[in-house]
Amino acid sequence: MSQRTLAIIKPDAVERKLAGRIIQRIEDEGFTIRAMRRVHLTEQQAGGFYAVHRERPFFASLTQFMSSGPAIVLVLEAEDAIKKWRTLMGATNPANADAGTLRKEFAESIERNATHGSDAPETAAFEIGYFFPGVDLI
Ligand code: IDP
Ligand code: MG
């Protein structure tokens, strides 16, 4: 069944001018880009997005990083999009990411790891709504 997921090209990748190459990979892998926007989050907005991680030791550093510069947020659509996009991204820590994945190729560290992807249908619904009002999802 066709499904949607939220992807983010994180500030580390935007800063290094990797957005074009990542978007090319997204299209090459057969996703349809249903929405796309450049954002520069405040630390508070990054904290709202990553609220599930607020008790983690890396939360403050993560929200600082995610608000450190512009990011590109996208809604991707495909069969089984959530799993498909997480597979293309690779493991959170690039040291553990499979060859050919975006994080293996582009991530700098476990924190500055180039991309984000929703991990379940419920989180995808929350995350898509965080950036795109329903009216923009055509
Ligand atoms: P995910 O992005 O692969 O779903 P999560 O565990 O949901 O990974 O963590 C969210 C983000 O927090 C990661 O993508 C990464 O940027 C950062 N992060 C996760 N674990 C660590 C860590 O141990 N140290 C520093 N940053 C981390
Ligand atoms: Mg996650």
**% of residues, the chain, pLDDT over 70:** 97
**Quick one: pLDDT at residue 48?**
98
C-alpha to C-alpha distances, 138 to 7, 35, 50, 125, nearest whole angstrom: 17, 8, 26, 15
Q: Which residues are found with C-beta within 5 Å of the ion, ligand 2?
A: 119
**Quick one: pLDDT at residue 41?**
98
Whether 104 contacts 98, CB under 8 Å: yes
What is the residue with the minimal CA distance to atom 14 of ligand 1?
Answer: 92
Mean pLDDT over residues 54-78, rounded?
98
Q: Which of 113, 116, 117, 124 is catalytic?
A: 116
Average pLDDT over the chain, rounded to whole?
96
Testing ligand 1's pocket by substitution, the residue of 64, 73, 110, 118 carrying the most ligand atoms inside 8 A of its CB is 110
Mean pLDDT over residues 104-126, rounded?
98
User: CA angle, corner 46, sides to 43 and 48, nearest 5?
Assistant: 110
